[in-house]
Structure 1
């Protein structure tokens, strides 16, 4: 008996159809030099059982697509994941996903496969993307044994990069919505927050083009430079 066998992560069990779907997921593509307007972006928002990166779980996924300079309302995604033994935090009062909604949700394996098929090889955008990226990556690893390698850009960084005069560097999504006087409907569930983030991103993409940031690769490079300057020690 291997004394260290208990340390190994159990391999997720997928049936033959699920394994085939997993094998057919496209490989992500690095940001390139096509026109910024032509890039397909998937704007993501997650609702989770809490904010602990290592313990809490993804409860729902909402996403919309930006393409050809607009939100494509024919490409929208929303799933609630079934979680049998999830202990809900007080955040349920915000996102409204109670035990009955979670019990009636989709099988996590199928829901995550659906989402990654929806994403395809496109880059992802989220507001405070580090949290969403980590939680999505862990959910994919735990349920599918899949390693997330898609490019993520953080709208919470892109906004102050392109609008430094707004003086909202540490602001939340609601602050930017108020700054641009965006008329958004329901908030604080995944698909609504993804749509609000996408509407903000449309303003930012227009500003990027005004600043001659004409390609996805150029936007990524400018963002990386901005973050390095921000983190550099001041003397």
Structure 2
């Protein structure tokens, strides 16, 4: 039996959905947990476009890195969140048909499922800033939930850890080819999350050889690297 819908200062949610939202775990602080023991969620979103203010999330793919490896038995995929607006033909780049969009998962349920999957873990992504903004907006609009989980950008880790040995271009395909990784499929959320996770593990191995043993130290080094990059542009 469906519960009544509740309206507060945000989206309308059923009582069970409100309870699930309120029970979501807060992010754990980045600490000295060794990279080899840290649980991380690697995320990839497929969206209707690149405008973080207007475009919508079409699908979510994620895999877990835990104890130094990819847990292939612990993956998340909600392909095709049903959007609330008519989409342009640009979505065809993802191989998503209009009928698949129409049959997609309800955004509220899919986003609750995903945040329960994330738990208190940090999130990794390639060009993480875009995924972070898109996910934060989707969570706010659908759940009235503020995203606080730390995001780590694999696209920044790669040049930081490989300053003297890097491809000419810096896209996901370029770094994947640089490390000899095999791409089975692109522009598909779960496949892109998997290849990003494989790349992250290669980079963590380099970080360990460079004396960086945990995410706290890695993010501190990344913040300092980012400041140096910005200073060079001034």
TM-score bracket relative to the smaller structure: over 0.9
Tell me the distance in 2 between the aligned counterparts of 1:87 and 1:35: 43
- Whether the 8 Å contact between 1:84 and 1:103 is mirrored in structure 2 is no
Residue of structure 1 in register with 2:124 after alignment? 125
- Measured at CA, do residues 207 and 20 of structure 1 come closer, stay the same or move farther in structure 2, by a change above 3 Å? same
Cα offsets for 1:135-170 (capped at 9, x unmatched): 000000000000000000000000001011223486
- Whether the 8 Å contact between 1:129 and 1:155 is mirrored in structure 2 is yes
Tell me the distance in 1 between the aligned counterparts of 2:168 and 2:132: 21
TM-score, structure 1 normalization: 0.92
Residue of structure 1 in register with 2:10 after alignment? 11
SS at match of 2:113: helix
Tell me the distance in 2 between the aligned counterparts of 1:215 and 1:174: 26
Residue of structure 1 in register with 2:5 after alignment? none
Tell me the distance in 2 between the aligned counterparts of 1:191 and 1:85: 24
| Displacement after TM superposition at 1:23 (Å) | 0.8
SS at match of 1:213: coil
Task: Name the stretch that deviates more: 77-86 or 148-157.
Answer: 77-86
Tell me the distance in 2 between the aligned counterparts of 1:150 and 1:232: 27
* 2:88 corresponds to 1:88: yes
Residue of structure 2 in register with 1:64 after alignment? 63
Could you list the runs of 4 or more consecutive aligned residues of structure 1 that deviate by over 4 angstroms after TM superposition? none
| Displacement after TM superposition at 1:73 (Å) | 0.7
Cα offsets for 1:73-125 (capped at 9, x unmatched): 111000021124231342x2321112111111111000000000000000000
Residue of structure 2 in register with 1:100 after alignment? 99
Tell me the distance in 1 between the aligned counterparts of 2:68 and 2:48: 34
Aligned pairs, number: 226
TM-score, structure 2 normalization: 0.93
Residue of structure 2 in register with 1:53 after alignment? 52
| Displacement after TM superposition at 1:186 (Å) | 1.4
Structure 1 unmatched runs, 5+: 1-8
| Displacement after TM superposition at 1:10 (Å) | 6.3
Residue of structure 2 in register with 1:36 after alignment? 35
- Whether the 8 Å contact between 1:50 and 1:89 is mirrored in structure 2 is no
After the TM superposition, which residues 82-231 of structure 1 pair with which residues of structure 2 at under 5 Å, given as runs? 82-90=82-90, 92-168=91-167, 171-231=170-230
Residue of structure 1 in register with 2:72 after alignment? 73
Tell me the distance in 1 between the aligned counterparts of 2:113 and 2:233: 46
